[in-house]
Structure 1
Amino acid sequence: MANDFNDHEQTLHYKSLLYELLEKVNENNSFGSILKEWFELFCQMNGVLHASIYMKDHSEEIRCRLTESIGAPPSLPSFISIGHSNHILPEILDVDMQLHIKESPLSIYNAAVRFQMDNNFSLIMFFEKPKGTGSELEKSIKGSKMESERFLNRLHKLFDNIRKEQQYKELFRITEKFHSSMNIDNVLAEIITTLRRVYPSYTYYLMLSNDDERNIDLPIKDLEFDSENTVAMQAYVNGTIQIEDSFTEKNTILYAPLRGKQGVYGVLQALAPASVIFPGDEVEFISLLANTAGSALENAKLYQQSRRLISDLQLINETSHRLNSNLRLSDTIQYLKNQIERYFHATEVGFIMLNKEHGEGKVLPGSSLYFQKESGKKYIQFVKEKIKKERDSLFIGDLNNNCCEAFSYEYCSLMAIPMVHSNSMKGFCIVLQEKPYAFTFEMYKLLQSLIHHSTLALSNSMLREELEKMVITDYLTKLYARNYLDDAIANSMVEEKEGTFILVDIDNFKRINDTYGHQAGDNVIIQVANLIQKNIRSTDIGARWGGEELAIYLPGAPLRVGFSVADRLVKTVQEQTTPSVTVSCGVSYWNIRKTEEVEMLFRRADRALYFAKNNGKNKAVVHEQDLKMMV
């Protein structure tokens, strides 16, 4: 023997050494480190030089894991199986134990002893009996086995209590952290961080049921309702813990629902490697953590939903207030476009009005220029046909998957909301984004509300501009009215440096009325008016002067340019009217070098027209006072 004590003294000495080991139990020492010290002490007390310990705890069913060795070869197996078999050691000191060890490297040992504790926790020590020890070694080991089992049982319970205390400290800490954060990403990150700290050997995944984009790198899986993982779906639907045992993979998967008071927000998946039975106390801790996390997720979601709702209401209120401030139609559309781009991260925004008679779509000014292009018009046509058929708004996550067209769409995400006023669809709003599924359903509902509140303001802006246009527009020719022309020229004389005025009269107009009728006469006036519109710039002004007389004002245009426009109009009218008619033009001019009144400009043009009419008609004439400005 390795010592000279008698049996009783040896036992007392061994017990005192075990108590010293128990005094080392604290959060800073691990179970494995103290177990190693006990193993070395046990071997020393019994004169064993070569030995290995395999441990079986409540997480194992038929396997033991190699824990410690003294003087053992490196080829020892990491695990051994325990069961009922005839393949046993040559000599067993613990006669109730049988092992699967045939053809195993463990055959280097010739003896074994098992230390059995509570909670199905046990240690099996394999060792080589020194030669010549015989019954004396057996007596020594059996004598210290009882005290060792008491020690190990006590040690296991102490560390189990420490572990549980640490778990609940973690639970308390994470609960405090959850309550201090209303950020969903922070809550999810804290779940994974805590579990990795408490159970570092496990693998974790968050299976989430929502479509929110996560901004952090976390092990997240989508929880799909048509998923083949029926166990995960059962945990989600029932709101209860589910455990899936995989004997082939030698692991156990736990599914803990992230449950709040109002629903389940996902499932925590925990994989325990090299285990077939998931430890009960760990199931309890993970379940408590999942429930706490579920409540925190719910609070964070409700907080974010309330903030989003406030933001939505602010958007609608701000937009409604701005739209009620009598903006021009183009300003109204531009403002709405900017709001939609900012809140919905949209790439293209278009407002399309439908023609009452033909149902054709007109892109309103202020919309994205993309809808003026051919590629943008195919979206307009698609939405128009779809809304006409389905009589509802459109919310499409990926156009290229949703449609059967041979070509692919440049923008995948689409929302289209009809603009309805007085039970009549006036048009629709199209919102596009390049990425598929870029818009959430909450965005879609908000856009519906925004367009609903904006349609009346848009209709009022359009009606107001139509009324304004009616006041300043001649009903027959659609040219500007005389009063608008007078004001425009007066303003031009203040803001511009020069300008040219042209008075146009249809030659022999009475003969047309007498020959073809007054309706044909009106048609001739309309034809001439249309030719005027085609031959002037968008900044120029074509107006109805009175009867068969029309007028053109060219702001900022020198006399030479003005005469050229008049001369071109004379030729064009003769060539492109039916029945063919001619016109005579009187041209006058002003600039800042001479004081000028609007009436004087009109009078000179009228005299020049009179001269043209009395000298063969079908010509353009510049007033003699302005001829010197023809340079």
Structure 2
Amino acid sequence: MVMKLFEANRYQELIKVTEKFHTTLDKDVVLDEVLIAFQEILPLYSNFLLLTHDHYSKSELPIIDPEYENENITAINAFVSGNIQMEESFAENRSILYVPLKGKQGVYGVMQIIASDTLNFPESDIELIALLANSAGNALENAHRYQKSLQEINNLQIINETSHRLNSNLRLAETMTYMSKQMKQCFAAQEVGFFLLTENQGRPKVLPGSTAFFFSKQAKLYVDYIIGKIQTDNKSLFIGDLNLPTIEDMVNFHSIMAIPMIQSQILKGFSIVMHQKAFFFSFDNFKLMQSLIHHSSLALTNSMLREELERMIITDHLTKLHSRNYLDEKIQRSMKEDEEGTFILIDLDNFKDLNDTYGHQVGDNVLIQVANLIKANIRGNDVGARWGGEELAIYLPKVSMEAGVSIAKRLVEKIADCSNPTITVSCGVSYWNKDRLDTYNYLFKRADDALYIAKGTGKNRVVTQIDSIRAS
């Protein structure tokens, strides 16, 4: 009679905790209630909850994380099969039940129930445990499905917001910086990298927006590994515990997601997110990243095409110096905003004779050599341009006449020393400042007059606007 009363009380407790399970859709709360219920209804047993990485939740819970490489095959069998498994230890005189917490769509964890000082679980206990586990599994499934639906709604909002932002004609740097920020927020990634593949480059180009790590030498090990995998079949990579032979004291990144950027069935580049902790990213993270990269690939391609078109408009095709129109705009803006500036007009001496002797292909090559020397000897905010034919030009904003003449003389010497076949240049230098009324047309004319004198007085020399005035 006492035993029947005891059993009835336990089943009443089961009904109560089952009702508790289903009063919330918060997975963390359900997990707490599951552990409390097993401890209250089965106080004579030790209980531990085993969860996979995808269902891991609150770190303060007594959770054992089953890995498929470990030796606890019985627990893995319970999780995979969805059936209760028993393990007996004669040496320790104890029994262990592994009870799957199973819903209609899958298994959400395994309860490890340890009975000390006995090799057998009573049938009534096993029956009660099975009922409790089944109820817990259904509650966990409901909470999981609810939170998954919330996550999917959030993911759709992120994708929609990202697509809207990327289709607002952002510059390439803005596009990549925005994407990097999104991925850091969505995945709590430690490193985010974007890479562009081109036919003429042996190595992928690191795009702006990538974290500093990918601009370091240490990143090469990971980038080489990823690109080798992606270029083989253009498929995304989801790696939970990567172990590469790294350099001593080098940070190891175990969790990696890498998604190719494909446009018109051509691999344009790829994106990487990494974290030092193994199994840090969930499969839901992986699916969201795939969606984000898929939606960003077209925007990335459009940004690159737009900026390439802009470069073509402002860049001379042969020399890769700026166009004359671009130079004109820069000088006009400088004359409105700056205090002074120097303009250098350059002409290749006897260029027609060089073309007649060696052919136009060699002549083009010499033009390219001179253009490269110009680019190597000016600052980032200076403007080197092709003026027309064999005439080139340099504009030096905020630079005095003396400094400009020094740069021109240095160029004349370098071109005579470094060109092959050897060629010389003549330079006309003009200057403006805020103290006198001036125009950019007149600035060009003074440089052209000075160049005319340089060509007529021996070539391979620099003549300034002051020299030109004196000569006239």
The two structures have a TM-score, normalised by structure 2, of: 0.91
In the alignment, which residue of structure 2 is the partner of 1:606? 448
Residue correspondence of structure 1 range 294-309 to structure 2 within 5 A: 294-309=137-152
- Distance apart, 1:581 and its partner CA: 0.9
**2:435 is equivalent to residue 593 of structure 1:** yes
Counterpart of 2:161 (choices 318, 322, 338) is 318
Q: Which amino acid aligns with 2:140?
A: L
- Distance apart, 1:200 and its partner CA: 2.9
1:163/1:558 CA distance change after superposition, 3 Å: farther
Residue correspondence of structure 1 range 451-600 to structure 2 within 5 A: 451-600=293-442
Kindly indicate whether the alpha-carbon contact (under 8 Å) linking 2:449 and 2:468 is maintained by their aligned counterparts in 1: no
Kindly indicate whether the alpha-carbon contact (under 8 Å) linking 1:589 and 1:626 is maintained by their aligned counterparts in 2: no
Residue correspondence of structure 1 range 149-164 to structure 2 within 5 A: 156=2, 161=5, 164=8
Q: Which amino acid aligns with 2:396?
A: L
In the alignment, which residue of structure 2 is the partner of 1:369? 212
Once residues 340 and 223 of structure 1 are traced to their aligned partners in structure 2, the CA distance between those partners, rounded to angstroms, is 28
- Distance apart, 1:227 and its partner CA: 5.7
Structure 2 residues not aligned, in runs of 5+: none
- Distance apart, 1:406 and its partner CA: 7.7
1:624/1:227 CA distance change after superposition, 3 Å: closer
Once residues 182 and 594 of structure 1 are traced to their aligned partners in structure 2, the CA distance between those partners, rounded to angstroms, is 78
In the alignment, which residue of structure 2 is the partner of 1:615? 457
In the alignment, which residue of structure 1 is the partner of 2:186? 343
Kindly indicate whether the alpha-carbon contact (under 8 Å) linking 1:185 and 1:216 is maintained by their aligned counterparts in 2: no
Once residues 263 and 161 of structure 1 are traced to their aligned partners in structure 2, the CA distance between those partners, rounded to angstroms, is 35
- Distance apart, 1:387 and its partner CA: 2.2
Residue correspondence of structure 1 range 125-274 to structure 2 within 5 A: 156=2, 161=5, 164-165=8-9, 167-225=10-68, 228-229=71-72, 231-244=74-87, 246=89, 248-274=91-117
1:224/1:516 CA distance change after superposition, 3 Å: closer
1:430/1:251 CA distance change after superposition, 3 Å: closer
Higher-Rg structure is: 1
- Distance apart, 1:330 and its partner CA: 1.2
- Distance apart, 1:457 and its partner CA: 1.2
- Distance apart, 1:439 and its partner CA: 2.1
Kindly indicate whether the alpha-carbon contact (under 8 Å) linking 1:589 and 1:601 is maintained by their aligned counterparts in 2: yes
Kindly indicate whether the alpha-carbon contact (under 8 Å) linking 2:450 and 2:467 is maintained by their aligned counterparts in 1: no
Kindly indicate whether the alpha-carbon contact (under 8 Å) linking 1:476 and 1:526 is maintained by their aligned counterparts in 2: yes
Kindly indicate whether the alpha-carbon contact (under 8 Å) linking 1:320 and 1:454 is maintained by their aligned counterparts in 2: yes
Kindly indicate whether the alpha-carbon contact (under 8 Å) linking 1:253 and 1:271 is maintained by their aligned counterparts in 2: yes
1:344/1:511 CA distance change after superposition, 3 Å: same
Residue correspondence of structure 1 range 376-391 to structure 2 within 5 A: 376-391=219-234
- Distance apart, 1:434 and its partner CA: 2.4
- Distance apart, 1:582 and its partner CA: 1.0
Once residues 511 and 231 of structure 1 are traced to their aligned partners in structure 2, the CA distance between those partners, rounded to angstroms, is 89
Look up the SS of the partner of 1:253 in the other structure.
strand
Once residues 563 and 209 of structure 1 are traced to their aligned partners in structure 2, the CA distance between those partners, rounded to angstroms, is 72
Once residues 406 and 374 of structure 1 are traced to their aligned partners in structure 2, the CA distance between those partners, rounded to angstroms, is 11
In the alignment, which residue of structure 1 is the partner of 2:257? 415
The two structures have a TM-score, normalised by structure 1, of: 0.69
- Distance apart, 1:578 and its partner CA: 0.7
Once residues 435 and 255 of structure 1 are traced to their aligned partners in structure 2, the CA distance between those partners, rounded to angstroms, is 28
Counterpart of 1:447 (choices 264, 289, 300) is 289
1:197/1:326 CA distance change after superposition, 3 Å: same
Instruction: After superposition, give the CA deviation of every residue in 1:128-172 in whole Å (9 maximum; x if it has no partner).
Output: xxxxxxxxxxxxxxxxxxxxxxxxx5xx25xx536633x345434
Once residues 554 and 348 of structure 1 are traced to their aligned partners in structure 2, the CA distance between those partners, rounded to angstroms, is 40
1:411/1:562 CA distance change after superposition, 3 Å: farther
1:283/1:500 CA distance change after superposition, 3 Å: same
Using the aligned pairs only, state the percent identity: 52
Once residues 340 and 6 of structure 2 are traced to their aligned partners in structure 1, the CA distance between those partners, rounded to angstroms, is 95
Look up the SS of the partner of 1:515 in the other structure.
helix
Kindly indicate whether the alpha-carbon contact (under 8 Å) linking 2:55 and 2:108 is maintained by their aligned counterparts in 1: no
1:377/1:216 CA distance change after superposition, 3 Å: closer
After TM superposition, the structure 1 stretch with the greater mean CA deviation from structure 2, 419-428 or 381-390, is 381-390
Structure 1 residues not aligned, in runs of 5+: 1-152
- Distance apart, 1:623 and its partner CA: 1.3
Instruction: After superposition, give the CA deviation of every residue in 1:303-324 in whole Å (9 maximum; x if it has no partner).
Output: 2221222222222221111111
Look up the SS of the partner of 2:98 in the other structure.
strand
1:345/1:527 CA distance change after superposition, 3 Å: same
Look up the SS of the partner of 1:417 in the other structure.
strand
Once residues 514 and 243 of structure 1 are traced to their aligned partners in structure 2, the CA distance between those partners, rounded to angstroms, is 94
In the alignment, which residue of structure 2 is the partner of 1:53? none
Once residues 429 and 229 of structure 1 are traced to their aligned partners in structure 2, the CA distance between those partners, rounded to angstroms, is 36
1:519/1:243 CA distance change after superposition, 3 Å: closer
Once residues 201 and 234 of structure 1 are traced to their aligned partners in structure 2, the CA distance between those partners, rounded to angstroms, is 25
Look up the SS of the partner of 2:111 in the other structure.
strand
Look up the SS of the partner of 2:96 in the other structure.
strand
Instruction: After superposition, give the CA deviation of every residue in 1:511-550 in whole Å (9 maximum; x if it has no partner).
Output: 2122222222222111111111111112111111111111
Once residues 215 and 67 of structure 2 are traced to their aligned partners in structure 1, the CA distance between those partners, rounded to angstroms, is 40
Look up the SS of the partner of 1:374 in the other structure.
coil
- Distance apart, 1:444 and its partner CA: 2.1
- Distance apart, 1:424 and its partner CA: 1.2
Kindly indicate whether the alpha-carbon contact (under 8 Å) linking 1:210 and 1:265 is maintained by their aligned counterparts in 2: no
In the alignment, which residue of structure 2 is the partner of 1:438? 280
- Distance apart, 1:427 and its partner CA: 1.8
Look up the SS of the partner of 1:415 in the other structure.
strand
